[in-house]
Structure 1
Amino acid sequence: MTEKPLISIKNISKIYANGTVGLKNVSLNIPAGQFVVIVGLSGAGKSTLLRTINRMHSVTQGDILIDGHSIIHYKNKQLRQLRRSIGMIFQDFNLIKRSTVQRNVLAGRVGYYPTWKSVCNLFSAADKQKAYQALQQVGMGEKLYSRADALSGGQQQRVAIARTLMQDPKIILADEPIASLDPMTTQTVMKDLKQLNRQLNITVVVNLHSVPIAQQFADRIVGLRAGELIYDKLIDQVNSEDFQTIYQSSSSSTDMENAS
C-alpha cells in the first residue's frame, strides 16, 4: 500500500485476563476509502481486531494510529471524539426495540449532545431531518415512525446503518452484519455498505464468514487464523484457492462448506 493509511495497526497483540491470545503481532495499514473484508474461522480474532480500532478493546502491546494519531491511550473526551468518527454495526443490530425508527437513528447523534438533552430526546430539527435523509439513503424513509420491533431483521440492520451515518463517520466497522440475514437481505445490506463506501468515501472494515460475499464486495481481503494475520491481498490478486489456507484447520473441508 503506497497511500497514506487512515488506519495504521502496528504489531498489536491482545492477551485476555484468562491468558487467551486474541491477537498476535498483527500489522495492517488501511487507506481512506477502502472496503476491507476480514475473514477467518470463528475465534480467529476478527471481532477482537475490529474492536481494537475503536478502543472497545485495549491492546496488550503495539500501537494503533487513526489519521496519524496514536489512540491507544485515549480517555474521556479524546475517546468520545474518536468513537464519534467511527461507526460500529453489530450482528444483533443493537436497536431499542420499543422505540421508533427515528429515535433509534437519532441515537447515532448522542455524542454531539449533552447527556440530558439526548435522554430527553431534545434533538434539533436539523438532526431530525438528517435522520430522515439517512434512512432514505438505505431505502427506509417510509419507516421513520415505525417501532423497531415491527421490522424484519434486514430492515433493522439497515436502520443500524442509518444510525451509524448520523455520526458522520470516516470509518465504519461492521462485525458479522449479515450473519442472521437471508441471502436476498444479505445482498441489500452489503450493497448499502458498498454504496456508502463509494459515494461518501467512508472506509469500511467488515468481518464476514461468507467467502462468496467477501469476493463480491471487498476491495481487499485480510485473513486471520488463531489471532495472526496470515493473508492480505487486493481483490484482483485473490483466487479461490487462497481461502483453503485461511480456513485450514482439522475440519477445514467442513469450515469451507460453511463459509460458502
Structure 2
Amino acid sequence: MTDTNLIEIKNVNKIYDNGVVGLKDINLNVKKGEFLVIVGLSGAGKSTLLRSINRLHDVTSGDILIDGQSIQHASGKALRMMRRNVAMIFQNFNLVKRASVRRNVLSGRVGYYGFLRSSFGFWKKEDVQHAVTALKRVNLAEKFYDRADALSGGQQQRVAIARALMQEPKIMLADEPTASLDPATSNLVMDDLKALNQDLGITVVANLHNEELALKYGSRIVGLRDGELIFDKEADQVSESDFQQIYQSVQDKHEAGSK
C-alpha cells in the first residue's frame, strides 16, 4: 500500500428519483493497494457507494476521482477507458450461465475489443492464454470448458473474479461477494481477493455483511448508516463495540432520542 490516493470521493450525495436519499455528503479516500471493507445494515448505502465509484450510478452532487481524474465528468471513450481500470464483482455472480467458463472469463476483455469482434468471440490467442492464467489464480483452470451453470456457487464467484482480472484493473469492487456462500467457501473467495490485493497490488473495495470476514481480510474498515459515513478505522483498531455502533438500527436511534 502507498500513500497515494487512488480513489477520492468528495462531498458526494445521491438522491434517487423517488426522493430516497442514498448517500449524504460522503468524503472518503482510498489509497493504492488498500483493502477497504465497507460495512453497515441493509439499506445503509453500501451498494450505492460502490456502484457510484465506477459510475453504475450517477451521483446527484459531488465528485469521484479515479487516479486523479473525475469519473463523474468523463464521457465516451474517456469513460470507457476509466471503467476498464475498475472491475466489479457482484453478489449474484452475473455470469452467462449457459455459456462456458472460457467465454465468461474472456468477456472481461470486452473493453479492449470492438463490439463485433467480442460478440463473435474472435479473441486473440494471448487473451485466451490470459484467461487460463486468470483461472489458475483462482484454482479453476480445469473448468475452462465447463458450462458456468454446472459449477457450484463458490466456483461461479471465483470465475467472476477471474473475469474481473481480465480487465487488468487497478481497482476491484466487490459487492457482497460472499452473501450467498457458506463460511468455508466464503473464505476461499476472500482468499482469492486478498491474493490479488497482495500479489498484484490491486486495490480492493468490498461490501461485507460478515464482521469476522471484515476483520480478517480488510486493512481498513468504514461504516455507513442511513447513507452517511459514520466510522473509519484501520482494521487492527476495530473492536466489537465499534461494530455495535455501526449496526445500531434506526429504531434504536429513535428510541434513544425519545427517552
Fold-level match, TM-score > 0.5? yes
Equivalences for residues 179-198 of structure 1 within 5 A: 179-198=179-198
Q: Which residue of 1 aligns with 2:57?
A: 57
Stretch of structure 1 that moved more, 44-53 or 68-77:
68-77
1:247 aligned onto 2:247: yes
Aligned to 2:48: 48
Moved over 3 A (4+): none
- Partner of residue 84, structure 2: 84
Counterparts of 1:231-242 in structure 2, within 5 Å, are: 231-242=231-242
- Supply the distance in 2 between the matched residues of 1:30 and 1:183 (Cα, whole angstroms): 28
| Residues 24-35 of structure 1 aligned to structure 2 (within 5 Å) | 24-35=24-35
For 1:113 and 1:119, how far apart are their aligned partners in 2?
Answer: 9
Deviations 1:54-102 (A, max 9, x none): 0111111111111111121111211111111111000000001111101
Do structure 1's residue 131 and structure 2's residue 131 form an aligned pair? yes
Distance in 2, matches of 1:41 and 1:194, equals 24
Query: Counterpart in 2 of 1:147?
Result: 147
The answer (yes or no) to whether the contact 2:95–2:104 under 8 Å persists in 1 is yes
Say whether the 8 Å CA contact 2:169–2:202 is kept in structure 1: yes
For 2:236 and 2:216, how far apart are their aligned partners in 1? 11
- Where does the alignment leave 5 or more consecutive residues of structure 1 unmatched? 253-260
Question: 2 CA distance for matches of 1:217 and 1:36?
Answer: 9
Count of aligned pairs: 252
Partner AA of 2:8 in structure 1: S
Whole-Å separation in 2 of the counterparts to 1:128 and 1:242: 46
Letter in 1 for 2:247: Y
Matches of 1:76 and 1:119, distance apart in 2:
20
- What residue is the counterpart of 1:110 in the other structure? 110
**Contact 2:106–2:163 (Cα < 8 Å) also in 1:** yes
Q: By how many angstroms is 1:2 displaced?
A: 8.8
Give the corresponding residue for 1:214.
214
Shift of 1:132: 0.3
Amino acid in structure 2 at the alignment position of 1:243: F
CA 1:175–1:4 in 2, change beyond 3 Å: closer, same or farther?
same
- Runs of at least 5 residues in structure 2 that lack an aligned partner in the other structure: 253-259
* 8 Å CA contact 2:2, 2:33 repeated in 1: no
Give the aligned CA root-mean-square deviation in angstroms: 1.2
Match of residue 255 from structure 2: none
Per-residue deviation, 1:4: 2.2
Alignment partners' CA distance in 1, 2:39 and 2:97:
30
TM-score (norm 2): 0.95
SS at match of 2:240: coil
Structure 1 residues 78, 87: CA separation in 2 closer, same or farther (over 3 Å shift)?
same
SS in structure 2 of the partner of residue 63 of structure 1: strand
Report the Cα distance in structure 2 between the residues aligned to 1:22 and 1:112, rounded to whole angstroms: 33
Percent identity among equivalent residues?
63
Q: Is the 8 A contact 2:2 2:32 kept in 1?
A: no
Q: 1: CA distance between counterparts of 2:71 and 2:25?
A: 17
